[in-house]
Structure 1
Amino acid sequence: MTFDNHETELQFVDTPLVDALNIIGELHRLKFFPDVKAIKEAGIALDEPVNIFISGVTLRDGLDLILLPLGLDYVAEHGVIHVTTKAIADQKLKIEIHTNTTSLQQNPEELIELITTLVEPETWTQIGGRGVIKPYKDGIIILQTQRNHRKISEFLAALKEVE
């Protein structure tokens, strides 16, 4: 499930968080599933008021603007978007394979060094994190959080643009 390039407009004034998510879900044909227990245990109310008026942003960026200030994040899996605490989202790792993304694929060790140095360096196993990155056939295979996968994809796209 990807919605990185879907542009959106968000207009919420004192709208309860759960209602804002439901409205966004209806507008973009997405299913949000809040992790009620984890959110409540973190001391965050599902009726926390959302105040935002923004247009011309990606849906991903809009969700970040709503969720991150509350200490929340989301993980897309099983056809739904799980809204949970950032701490829980950071524990969910996913494997992705990137192939032929830049000319640096010819030298995967250099690409791996760039990624692990520039994209959330503290999250990689080399310095005690949980993320793993290895050369794989004509690309790289990465075990990382969904949020960091998005950052890696952005980084690889930026590299490709300057080639």
Structure 2
Amino acid sequence: MIVVVDTNIVFSAILSSEGKINDLLLNPGLAFHFYTPTFLIEELEKHHEKLKKISGLKDDDIKFLKRTVFNHIDFIDPEIIRPESWEKGFDLVKDIDENDTPFVALCLDINGSLWTGDKKLSNGLKQKGIDWIWTTDELLAEREK
């Protein structure tokens, strides 16, 4: 399954290196192929101090954890996402959170599912009939099949 990972999932994986999210990212088995737009790197940099404060980790530890997680995700340059995917992605999230456009646009472009812990985004998209949103627990159950 093609799965687009959003920023809050990676953020959570770094915060809890022994948690379910980290386990799923680092041990996807043959069930999942993870992708994300390179925009995620900018998002994590923007929130680096918050990540540092919440986690209590040092810069080097955070860098190590990022590299570890990043090795299991294929990064896609947003410039190669088709304009129609950007337009449809924006239309889907404009009244939820426009900052999620790159992730939704990438899902549309590569026919993937979205893995998010963002309840507002998940609920908002599901209200619009989108059925390709996955929670961590749903993905864990899928991996075990």
TM bucket (normalised to shorter chain) is under 0.3
Bigger RCO (CA 8 Å, 6+ sep): 2
Which has the higher Rg, Structure 1 or Structure 2? 1
For normalisation by structure 2, the TM-score amounts to: 0.26
User: In proportion to residue count, which structure has more strand?
Assistant: 1
TM-score (norm 1): 0.24
